[in-house]
């Protein structure tokens, strides 16, 4: 059995090598992304492993079928930018990693909120300028706030537990409520109801066509004045221009964004000394009450190991058994 993995970072390599040795499966690691030019070189490989972010070559699955690749194994959760219909039509199995470390993302989202509530970015800038005054940046205590959680899957539930530990009131909305949480009565009946009640809105849901720009001008207008927005989920959930307008007019007190709707050309690239071509993103960066991180909420040692090993195991099972628990196009 022979696999090839694309977009392999240096922090992933040791986990690939350890799994390869333990399972007697040849795994070739490539730092570059999968491109059209590389499709012709895939003959002889049983599975291709790559990351969800970015774009994929046109007619990729047709080429997989032609050269004998049986499985595409994604080292992430999201498969919203993968043509699953084309994969199925060409007999290619697609797998993902449904949960590599829910706590990593949940902890990060709360960390970012705490920074917003205590104005740490503003204080860092003042201290760097040798201005050690406090006012006017008085903070807020999390226990005094109502946190609205959109999406109560593994990550959302982990976040709920952390927020409760701080003493915050938690409400939630999910199209598919968790039975245990439903018994506790934390769910509201609509997005609008959550928007109207929450001091903090934190996103932990997948991106679908129906939820594109869920957080837009109309939704923001329904929110409480001075609301905080945390997005460690998917960039497409937020209309960035509407968000900027909400921040500038004071409707939104602060936002923490670990993902951005047009992030692929920016995140995980070294762009220092280069002008930013994305004027909307540049405007975000200039806002004092916006925290931007380059899609790193997941990025812990535990999560990286799980992403690699689960993706490899899924590919192995899919090749040998024709199915696996992480199959997404069955």
**Residue 206's CB: how many other CB atoms inside 10 A?**
15
Task: Please give the mean pLDDT across all residues of the chain.
Answer: 95
pLDDT in tens, 111-134: 999 999 999 999 999 999 999 999
Say yes or no to pLDDT of 150 above 80. Answer: yes
pLDDT of amino acid 232:
97
DSSP 137-167: -----GGGSEEEEE--SHHHHHHHHHHHHTT
Residue 269 annotated in active site: no
Give how far the C-alpha of residue 62 lies from the chain's centroid of Cα atoms, to the nearest Å: 28
pLDDT in tens, 186-199: 999 999 999 999 99
Assigned token pair, 4: 């090839």
d(CA 181, CA 160): 10
Confidence of residue 268 (pLDDT cuts 50, 70, 90): confident
pLDDT in tens, 301-313: 999 999 999 999 9
Phi, psi angle pair for 322, to nearest 5°: 80, 5
Domain boundaries, the chain: 2-100+301-321, 102-292
Q: Which of 12, 213, 234, 317 is catalytic?
A: 234
Say yes or no to pLDDT of 28 above 90. Answer: yes
Say yes or no to pLDDT of 52 above 80. Answer: no
pLDDT in tens, 199-241: 999 999 988 889 999 999 999 999 999 999 999 999 999 999 9
Say yes or no to pLDDT of 99 above 90. Answer: no
Domains 2-100+301-321 and 102-292 fall in the same CATH topology: yes
Say yes or no to pLDDT of 279 above 90. Answer: yes
Q: Which of 12, 261, 263, 305 is catalytic?
A: 263
Residue 234 annotated in active site: yes
d(CA 228, CA 215): 12
Confidence of residue 58 (pLDDT cuts 50, 70, 90): confident
User: What is the greatest pairwise CA distance in the chain?
Assistant: 67
Q: Which residues contact 194 (CB under 8 A, 6 or more apart)?
A: 148, 150, 171, 172, 173, 188, 201
Q: Which of 75, 154, 213, 295 is catalytic?
A: 295
Share of the chain above pLDDT 90, in %: 90
d(CA 42, CA 44): 6
Say yes or no to pLDDT of 54 above 80. Answer: no
pLDDT of amino acid 107:
97
Please give the CATH architecture assigned to the domain spanning 2-100+301-321. Answer: 3-Layer(aba) Sandwich (3.40)
Confidence of residue 262 (pLDDT cuts 50, 70, 90): very high
Assigned token pair, 214: 């869920």
pLDDT of amino acid 281:
97
Which CATH number fits the domain 102-292, given the four candidates 3.10.105.10, 3.90.1310.10, 3.40.50.1260, 3.40.50.720? Answer: 3.40.50.720
Residue 286 annotated in active site: no
CB neighbour class for 24 (10 Å; exposed up to 12, middle 13-18, buried from 19): exposed
In this structure, are strands 169-173 and 93-95 parallel, antiparallel, or unpaired?
A: unpaired
Q: Is 130 left (phi over 0), alpha (psi -120 to 50) or beta?
A: left
List strand residue ranges (DSSP E) for 156-249, in order: 169-173, 200-203, 227-231
Say yes or no to pLDDT of 50 above 90. Answer: yes
Q: State the pTM of this model.
A: 0.87
In this structure, are strands 47-50 and 2-5 parallel, antiparallel, or unpaired?
A: parallel
pLDDT of amino acid 207:
87
């Amino acid at each position: 059995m022979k696999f090839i993995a694309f977009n392999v970072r240096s922090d992933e390599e040791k986990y690939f090598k350890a799994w390869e040795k333990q399972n007697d499966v040849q795994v070739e690691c490539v730092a570059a992304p999968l491109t059209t030019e590389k499709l012709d070189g895939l003959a002889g490989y049983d599975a291709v492993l790559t990351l969800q972010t970015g774009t994929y070559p046109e007619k990729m699955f047709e080429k997989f079928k032609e050269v004998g690749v049986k499985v595409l194994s994604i080292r992430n959760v999201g498969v919203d930018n993968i043509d699953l219909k084309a994969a199925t039509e060409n007999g290619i199995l697609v797998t993902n990693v449904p949960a590599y470390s829910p706590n990593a993302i949940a902890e990060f989202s709360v960390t970012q909120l705490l920074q917003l509530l205590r104005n740490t970015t503003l204080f860092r800038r003042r201290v760097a300028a040798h201005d050690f005054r406090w006012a006017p940046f008085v903070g807020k205590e999390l226990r005094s706030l109502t946190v609205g959680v959109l999406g109560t899957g593994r990550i959302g539930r982990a976040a709920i537990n952390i927020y409760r530990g701080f003493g915050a009131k938690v409400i939630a909305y999910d199209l598919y409520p968790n039975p245990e949480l439903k018994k506790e009565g934390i769910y509201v009946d609509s997005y609008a109801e959550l928007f109207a009640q929450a001091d903090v809105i934190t996103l932990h849901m997948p991106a679908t066509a129906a939820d594109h720009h869920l957080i837009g001008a109309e939704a923001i207008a329904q929110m409480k004045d001075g609301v905080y927005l945390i997005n460690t989920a998917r960039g497409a959930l937020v209309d960035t221009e509407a968000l900027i307008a909400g921040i500038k007019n004071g409707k939104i007190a602060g936002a923490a964004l670990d993902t951005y709707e047009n992030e692929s050309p920016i995140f995980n690239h070294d762009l220092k000394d280069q002008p930013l071509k994305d004027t909307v993103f540049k405007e975000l960066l200039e806002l004092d009450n916006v925290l931007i991180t380059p899609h790193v909420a997941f990025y812990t040692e535990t999560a990286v190991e799980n992403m690699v090993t689960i993706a490899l195991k899924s590919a192995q099972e899919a090749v040998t058994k024709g199915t696996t628990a992480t199959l997404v196009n069955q």
